């Protein structure tokens, strides 16, 4: 499997990288959380901008982002505006979504940016190119909070993300049965074994899928989200547990 070098951190090589989400609403609370996260055993922090009370104000977003960059020091910063259609908290027009992405890229503060596969649509290759020109890696994401698609569909979707130039295809799905969790893990393994051009990030959500967040390395998932106190998605496991299990299951 290929790895993605980001600021001295090689995603897709060795132990899966741990991501902590910032989901607070006010700038003060966001920055307080970032300062706390900067000392924790995790590789990356995701700022969920859609949960920020001033998400619609580009100036406020840029100011907060600049302060986050300083506080997080050497930790990777992933910037995400999750749309309502994919589990976020605010509706965003297509044009507004594109403006947000370009605003973030202009700041030179993000290491990684989340671009939703379906929201970006035909603009995805151009957006990926814009991100790469800005020196930012792309996590191309797709979320299904209702079901787990068939394995062939999940693999096809992640391959399409690769073909658009994404650095890290990401897939999060909701299981309705134990077999669904296995379906997600099988799709992850197929991507790793047969489409190794990029690392992938995958997870089965909810309590039933929590095991996928812990055993991802064995199947090929390069990153996992941990719950540092407040979860950003159903099924996130506590940071201490994630680190202990990843160390115990370490393949290399």
Indicate which residues carry an active-site annotation.
Answer: 143, 170
Question: Measured between alpha carbons, how far is 162 from 156 in angstroms, rounded to an integer?
Answer: 10
Query: Sign of dihedral through CA atoms 211, 235, 45, 117?
Result: positive
Contacts of the segment 2-8: beta carbons below 8 A, 24+ positions apart: 2/196, 2/197, 2/198, 2/199, 3/199, 3/222, 4/137, 4/167, 4/168, 4/198, 4/199, 4/222, 6/76, 6/111, 6/112, 6/137, 7/74, 7/76, 7/111, 8/74
Residues contacting residue 54 through CB under 8 Å, at least 6 positions apart: 27, 60, 61, 64
Report the SS3 class of residue 93. coil
Residue 229 DSSP code: S
């Amino acid at each position: 499997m290929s790895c993605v070098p980001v600021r001295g951190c090689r995603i897709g090589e060795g132990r899966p990288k741990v991501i902590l989400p910032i989901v607070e609403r006010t700038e003060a609370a966001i920055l307080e959380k970032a300062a706390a996260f900067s000392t924790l055993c995790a590789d990356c922090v995701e700022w969920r901008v859609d949960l920020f009370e001033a998400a619609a104000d580009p100036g406020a977003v840029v100011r907060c982002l600049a302060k986050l960059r300083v506080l997080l020091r050497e930790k990777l910063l992933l910037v995400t505006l999750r749309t309502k259609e994919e589990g976020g908290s605010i509706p965003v027009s297509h044009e507004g979504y594109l403006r947000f992405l370009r605003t973030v890229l202009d700041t030179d503060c993000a290491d990684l940016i989340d671009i939703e596969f379906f929201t970006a649509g035909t603009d995805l290759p151009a957006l990926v190119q814009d991100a790469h020109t800005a020196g930012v890696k792309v996590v191309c994401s797709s979320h299904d909070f209702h079901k787990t698609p068939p394995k062939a569909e999940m693999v096809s979707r992640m391959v399409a993300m690769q073909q658009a130039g994404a650095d890290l295809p990401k897939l999060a799905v909701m299981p309705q049965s134990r077999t669904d969790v296995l379906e997600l893990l099988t799709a992850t393994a197929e991507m790793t074994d047969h489409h190794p051009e990029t690392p992938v990030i995958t997870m089965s959500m909810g309590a039933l899928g929590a095991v996928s967040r812990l055993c991802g390395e064995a199947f090929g998932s390069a990153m996992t989200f941990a719950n540092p106190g407040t979860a950003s998605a159903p099924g996130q496991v506590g940071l201490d547990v994630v680190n202990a299990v990843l160390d115990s299951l370490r393949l290399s």
